[in-house]
Structure 1
């Protein structure tokens, strides 16, 4: 491993994830979008995972003051961060979650107990997804305290299907505008006001003018200030590449997708 490149990458990704409130992940099927979403979920919960771990260690080390374990857990949960994972069109993969984090017991236990998965199954269609997101941004449902991150997997599928049913161009534009204005903007404002990171997983579409795949509805989501993470398969080098798009810049790194997640290659 090239330690210098590793250090540069870690500094860059930490800075970008801290700077942006909205993170878009997009790429073709099989590139690891949902897996990377899980890794980001852990990243944003990491401060609380570390605090919970230290409190547990202090609890077992302390012999002079005894607290019942359930009381200790209650006190920790009152200040600890939570996550919400929205099954918009993709089921949350418990097997993937277990495989990724089973060797990290502290992270595994914390994330399992502090991640709210909504709804019980995937959203049936565009309208159910829109209603759910409106209730979320309007706080019309019981939500956990201190939400650190919301992941939506994926935001594109039902919208794409609904657009496919409309033949009139004006109706298509109206549908897209309505989705962005009445569903996404309230969600952006809610997350911004609560200092919640919003991770959106997108499908892609082919752009013949650029001769490449782009984030579905790039014209809409490209107008917001966001950190865009593109996962692509470079056929000429037979490698997977992760592109970080921020402001007018792009930083690219090769990666491999394993059972333990996306790993940046520094060799």
Structure 2
């Protein structure tokens, strides 16, 4: 058992409770916002009043569904295709969001994917380069384009979605762990560089999350499902996307005004290491 599942009615009730409009008039750009953790973040930011631009790579239908869900709940959102490996795609994204929604003042770097689960001896350089491009170099290229907007904003935030794996150094995760660690390092540097412009930079590092990606990781590592391993986790469940979204919304709100350069782990206080 993961603990009590969240039926659709409970999700709607949660969203009603969170309609505090703490982020009214903010323009948020959430990469990888059509599915999983990114979708949860996009929905939460919109529920608090932000206009949300969410990106997707291949699954346009998932992006359409994510926008429709946000709009049906009274929020504002638009979706945009973007590949973190394509400079032209990144530049087009920034221009399109500016033209459609205005200047970005909240950037959530979430897009990414897992590595193939192989040992270092079996991992070729191409996989490292791909993960670095998707998790570090592409997001930083995008960030350089939106930083002028962030610096001009009355309130500006950069929030990087990382992983507890950067501290676990688990077997068979080297490309993913290295890439996530690289983006964490960049975020810590940015927090110091951009503080003079009033830009806050923070990191949220989830443990295992109940998403399609999380399900695939558990299946690959244990041949089981998230529901089967959840009882071994703190509080009897793995994390939900809403858990990560709550932390992101807090950091971007007035309540998080004096927080920058920090890393928050969202794993119930220490989760089992699934990878040995």
**Same-fold status (TM-score > 0.5):** no
Q: Which structure would you say has the larger Rg?
A: 1
Larger relative contact order, structure 1 or 2 (CA cutoff 8 Å, min sep 6): 1
Which one has a larger percent strand, Structure 1 or Structure 2?
1
Which one has a larger percent helix, Structure 1 or Structure 2?
2
Name the TM-score, length of structure 2 as normaliser. Answer: 0.43
Name the TM-score, length of structure 1 as normaliser. Answer: 0.44
